[in-house]
Amino acid sequence: MSYLSLSIFLPIVLGGVLALFGRYLGQGGARWFALLAAIAGFIVTIPIYTGFDGSSAAMQFVENIPWVTRFNINYHLGVDGISLWFVLLTAFITIIAILSAWEVITDRFHLYAAAFLILSGIMIGVFVALDAVLFYIFFEATLIPMYLIIGIWGGQNRIYAAFKFFLYTLAGSFLMLLAILFLFFKSGYSFSILDWQQLIIPMGAQKVLFFAFLAAFAVKIPMWPVHTWLPDAHVQAPTAGSVVLAAIMLKLGAYGLLRFNLPILPDASKDLAWLMIALSLVAVVYVGLVAIVQKDMKKLVAYSSVAHMGFVTLGFFVFNKLGLSGGIVQMIAHGFVSAGMFLCIGVLYDRLHTREIADYSGVIQSMPKFAAFALLFAMANCGLPATAGFVGEWMVILGAVKFDFWIGVVAASALIWGAAYSLWLYKRVYLGPVTNPKVHLMSDINAREMLILSLLAAATIYMGVHPKPFTDPMEASVQQLIEHVGQGKLALIGNNS
Amino acid sequence: MEGPTPISALIHAATMVTAGIFMVARMSYLYELSDTALNLIMILGSITALFMGILGIIQNDIKRVVAYSTLSQLGYMTVALGASAYSVAVFHLMTHAFFKALLFLGAGAVIVAMHHNQDIRYMGGLARYKNMRITWLTSLVGSLALIGAPLFSGFYSKDAIIEAVHASNLPAHGFANFAVLAGVFITAFYSFRMYFLVFHGKERWDQLPHDEHHADDHHDEHHDLPINPGWSINLPLVLLAIPSAVIGGWALMQFVGEGGFLGKAIFVDHSAHPAMQNLAEDIHGAWAMALHGLSAAPFWLALAGVVSSWYLYLKNPAIPARLKAFFEGIGVYQLLDNKYYLDWFNEHVVARITRGLGTAFWKAGDEVLIDGALVNGSWKVVGVVSALSKRLQTGYLYHYALVMIAGLFGLATYALWPYLARQLGL
């Protein structure tokens, strides 16, 4: 069994075992089993990075096994420079998620951890699937564990949030299914994503397909105006749920744009770039402004995630290498930073059981170590140089300026909104006098919380100072994608006739 | 300003606040291409130099006086940049670093001596105390350097700026010329106001109101004599006082002469902006410049500033109170006290509009339009449609029979209508 299959099915199988037999292990046993399973899941992804040939844009670690021969559906996996880091990121964040639930979740911990392990395998499946049916199955399957995580372990209004999350994303996916079926017949009965990338499609059909795929991915990213499920889902989700949601699940949609919309429908992508750029800029400015006035910390960070994902889609649709790789880097960086932000909120919530900003003030007095971590993540969230948040934003702004100066200017305003909501949040929660007497009683982070935050802080700083290991492997794949999109498909029609 | 005094000294002297000056000087290649940009820079610098200096006059917090003087001096540097005298701006940045760090640390020494009182209205007469002598003399050196007294380091850099503005050929140089000259008087006035109020005149620290009393002081302590700052504070003052006094004359030719210290790092288009070249031709050496300075307007303006502050704050202290009442009467004092309402504008206009927009997008856009109308609205439409269609299937046979009969009747009417119409003669 190759490493890709292992990284998908090891966490799923171990998660399944934990779900079925976890109650015999007891709380402690379930914790350690889950942690070791997550670590094992991460370890099997490491050879994918070390064995990856960064100079090649081709799919690597390919596995292609016939599955449903009658419909030409294959179990076809592969990883390229675009998906490589997301495989590792998913496995890494799963460890963080398990650790963050350690003593916080006391109700059916084994099921909770199992949901994250299974979710981890499914999400890795999305990133490495090269068969459209396989992709669709994994893409939809991610909904189930997350639905359960929010619906069972969530907050007060969890049922509404879980349903909203589920229906919102499912509604988008139906159009994608139709598009997949259309392409299946159009391509002469193939579900191979790679085949579709070479398929010549007229402009009219490309545009319809573009919107069909966009419906699925825009909800997942989420792009304005289909973003309103995210704040609700985050507010109701337990901490680890928010972490995985922000760090990985949002990336599934953006990754879908890179796998389907850009390479399969390059001409429609270019033709509709104005729309995507406009929606991205609305996300950056409108959602950035909305984030400033939030009163609930999780909502604030949720809105800031939408704004950051606006940056990602902006980078994709300016069609240059800087913007595109900047968008991907931003996705990875946001994985670390938003995870850190949500964990910080989790740490506060575990102690005071409120997420209202107004309930906190002067937390730095009682939790100085924690406040240092929170400052780092707040700074990374607003894109301070030498943190992960800076690298992607910087590349996207450069790419946007190259494309059109004024688009770059509007995009760069994100730095102002980002600083406004991140620093104002930090000021109101951590600094100032203690107004709520309970804040005095808050104990500083324990060793476990220290470990989680340190891991993410190390990743955030390392990526900010030395982003080369992140950008190098994607180089060739991004280059190829840019060339492929630049060439387009309609030109080929012209040559043929 | 609100930070610990050594941090203020560091920030104000050499690091953070001067970064902008450094950046423009570093990018002289770019700025030389645009007269518009240079004019704008010169005007912004003039406004800063003049109006921030005016704010220094009414401040009573010793650190605030020094802080506003930094803003004013940054204005001078900016004016120099606008006049294409980049090297002179860097020169002033350098001399200013020494005397401003000195003034801040001197202010820190005074604050320590005064049991953490920062209000200069409740100081005075410190020069009479033996243990304050080093603080007193070094602060005097710093103040003289700041106001540009000949031979002190600030004199050379500031006079070079004034000369450069004078020689500039940009349209903005008229206003800039006025601003930098008026600024000399104002600088001298607020600097020596502070100096006289702190080191000379009556000792007023026993008048400090109790509520302004620092929390960690004991009650009887503020009547005590000034606390000896000690060598850990005095030594840096001495070390900074030496360059504050002499470095200007020593380094002058490196910054204004041809091929000086900055060499090719700075580019000036001499044909378009000849100010720097004229300056280099006029200045021949430190002594000659100091001698020439005695007969030039800035020296007399500075002297006038010192003399008027001496008269107002030492000789006849009743006048400032009356002046204050007069300016309060016409609203000028309030304008200055609120820093021209710039903070107010940011807080009440910029921040309020931003938050208002955010709230409007959130409440009207996200909650009402997207979530209310589209998302929850579509659920509601489904609910309404299903509620209506539910009524069609009641499960009661007589409902279905009624509908069937009504339908039959309707269909029969429709089919027979042509015949019926003919029969009825319609």
User: Pairing between strand A60-68 and A73-79?
Assistant: antiparallel
Distance from CA of A317 to the nearest CA of B (A): 25
B355 contacts chain A (CB < 8 A): yes
Whether B368 has a pLDDT exceeding 60, the answer reads yes
Whether B140 has a pLDDT exceeding 90, the answer reads yes
For residue B196, the model assigns a pLDDT of 92
Asked whether the beta carbons of B153 and B99 are under 8 A apart, the reply is yes
Whether B53 has a pLDDT exceeding 80, the answer reads yes
Whether A174 has a pLDDT exceeding 90, the answer reads no
Alpha-carbon distance values, A480 to A193, A213, A251 (Å): 16, 21, 21
The whole-model pTM stands at 0.84
CA distance A455 to A459: 6
% of chain B residues with pLDDT over 70: 96
Q: What is the mean pLDDT of residues B92-109?
A: 91
For residue B75, the model assigns a pLDDT of 93
For residue A438, the model assigns a pLDDT of 85
Question: Which residue of A226, A229, A235, A293 is the best one to mutate when testing the B interface, meaning the one whose CB has the most B CBs within 10 A?
Answer: A293
B365/A164 touch (CB, cutoff 8 Å), yes or no: no
Helix crossing, B19-26 with B86-113: angle to 10°? 170
- Pick the residue from chain B with its C-alpha nearest to A288: B358
B358 contacts chain A (CB < 8 A): yes
Count the Cβ atoms, other than its own, within 10 Å of residue B53. Answer: 27
SS3 A200: coil
Q: Where are the domains of chain A?
A: 272-488
For residue A213, the model assigns a pLDDT of 92
Band (pLDDT 50/70/90 cuts) for residue A131 is very high
Q: What is the mean pLDDT of residues A143-172?
A: 85
CA distance B141 to A174: 79
For residue A2, the model assigns a pLDDT of 86
Task: For A278-336, write each residue's pLDDT tens digit.
Answer: 999 998 999 999 999 999 999 999 999 999 999 999 999 998 989 999 999 999 999 99
As separate numbers, helices (DSSP H) first and strands (DSSP E) second, chain A gives 27, 2
Band (pLDDT 50/70/90 cuts) for residue A212 is very high
Q: What is the mean pLDDT of residues A201-210?
A: 89
Task: For A100-121, write each residue's pLDDT tens digit.
Answer: 988 888 888 889 999 999 999 9
> Which residues on B lie below 8 Å from A423 (Cβ)?
none
Question: Which residue of B375, B378, B379, B382 is the best one to mutate when testing the A interface, meaning the one whose CB has the most A CBs within 10 A?
Answer: B375
- Pick the residue from chain A with its C-alpha nearest to B372: A228
B362/A290 touch (CB, cutoff 8 Å), yes or no: yes
What is the distance, to the nearest Å, from the Cα of residue B265 to the centroid of all Cα atoms in its chain? 28
B334 contacts chain A (CB < 8 A): no
Band (pLDDT 50/70/90 cuts) for residue A459 is very high
What is the distance, to the nearest Å, from the Cα of residue A99 to the centroid of all Cα atoms in its chain? 19
Whether A385 has a pLDDT exceeding 50, the answer reads yes
B375/A294 touch (CB, cutoff 8 Å), yes or no: no
- List the 115-174 stretch of B: residues with Cβ below 8 A of A: none
Band (pLDDT 50/70/90 cuts) for residue A29 is confident
Distance from CA of B366 to the nearest CA of A (A): 7
Pick the range with the lowest mean pLDDT from A366-375, A485-494, B96-105, B297-306.
A485-494
B407 contacts chain A (CB < 8 A): no
Average pLDDT, chain A: 89
Q: What is the mean pLDDT of residues B121-144?
A: 89
A289/B357 touch (CB, cutoff 8 Å), yes or no: yes
For residue A496, the model assigns a pLDDT of 47
Distance from CA of B69 to the nearest CA of A (A): 29
Count the Cβ atoms, other than its own, within 10 Å of residue B320. Answer: 16
Whether A381 has a pLDDT exceeding 60, the answer reads yes
Task: For B202-228, write each residue's pLDDT tens digit.
Answer: 888 777 776 554 544 444 454 567 887
B358/A164 touch (CB, cutoff 8 Å), yes or no: no
Band (pLDDT 50/70/90 cuts) for residue B1 is low
For residue A497, the model assigns a pLDDT of 41
Task: For B143-158, write each residue's pLDDT tens digit.
Answer: 999 998 888 999 999 9
B375 contacts chain A (CB < 8 A): yes
Whether B165 has a pLDDT exceeding 80, the answer reads yes
Q: In the structure encoding, which two tokens stand for residue A444, read together? A: 């500083």
B347 contacts chain A (CB < 8 A): no
Question: Which residue of A159, A286, A306 is the best one to mutate when testing the B interface, meaning the one whose CB has the most B CBs within 10 A?
Answer: A286
Give the residue among A309, A289, A154 at the shortest CA–CA distance from A235: A154
SS3 A218: helix
Distance from CA of A408 to the nearest CA of B (A): 21
Q: What is the mean pLDDT of residues B85-101?
A: 91
Count the Cβ atoms, other than its own, within 10 Å of residue A406. Answer: 10
Output the CA angle B39-B42-B47, nearest 5 degrees: 125
Helix crossing, A297-316 with A405-430: angle to 10°? 160
CA distance B168 to A152: 74
Q: What is the 3-class SS of chain B, one letter each residue?
A: CCCCHHHHHHHHHCCHHHHHHHHHHHCHHHHCCCHHHHHHHHHHHHHHHHHHHHHHHHCCEHHHHHHHHHHHHHHHHHHHHHCCCHHHHHHHHHHHHHHHHHHHHHHHHHHHHCCCCCEHHHCCCHHHCHHHHHHHHHHHHHHHHHHCCCCCHHHHHHHHHHHHHHHCCCCCHHHHHHHHHHHHHHHHHHHHHHHHHHHCCCCCHHHCCHHHCCCCCCCCHHHCCCCCCCHHHHHHHHHHHHHHHHHHHHHHHHHHCCCCCCHHHCCCCCCCCCHHHHHHHHCCCHHHHHHHHCCCHHHHHHHHHHHHHHHHHHHCCHHHHHHHHHHHHCCHHHHHHCHHHHHHHHHHHHHHHHHHHHHHHHHHHHHHHHHHHHHHHHHHHHHHHHHHHHHHCCCCHHHHHHHHHHHHHHHHHHHHHHHHHHHHCC
> Which residues on B lie below 8 Å from A164 (Cβ)?
375
Distance from CA of B376 to the nearest CA of A (A): 9
Q: In the structure encoding, which two tokens stand for residue A195, read together? A: 């085949």
Band (pLDDT 50/70/90 cuts) for residue A165 is confident
For residue B223, the model assigns a pLDDT of 55
> Which residues on B lie below 8 Å from A292 (Cβ)?
354-355, 358
A293/B370 touch (CB, cutoff 8 Å), yes or no: no
Average pLDDT, chain B: 86
For residue B23, the model assigns a pLDDT of 92
Q: In the structure encoding, which two tokens stand for residue A117, read together? A: 């392990």
For residue A492, the model assigns a pLDDT of 67
> Which residues on B lie below 8 Å from A294 (Cβ)?
362
* Position B289, amino acid: M
Question: Which residue of B352, B353, B361, B371 is the best one to mutate when testing the A interface, meaning the one whose CB has the most A CBs within 10 A?
Answer: B361
Q: Look at B395 and A311; give whichever has higher pLDDT.
A: A311
Band (pLDDT 50/70/90 cuts) for residue B343 is confident
Alpha-carbon distance values, A22 to A109, A111, A153, A238, B193 (Å): 9, 7, 17, 20, 78
Whether A419 has a pLDDT exceeding 50, the answer reads yes
> Which residues on B lie below 8 Å from A228 (Cβ)?
366, 370-371, 375
Nearest residue, CB atoms, B354 vs list A168, A225, A289: A289
For residue A353, the model assigns a pLDDT of 87
> Which residues on A lie below 8 Å from B357 (Cβ)?
289
> Which residues on A lie below 8 Å from B355 (Cβ)?
292-293
> Which residues on B lie below 8 Å from A420 (Cβ)?
354
% of chain A residues with pLDDT over 70: 98
Max intra-chain CA distance, chain A: 78
Distance from CA of B370 to the nearest CA of A (A): 7
- Pick the residue from chain B with its C-alpha nearest to A295: B359
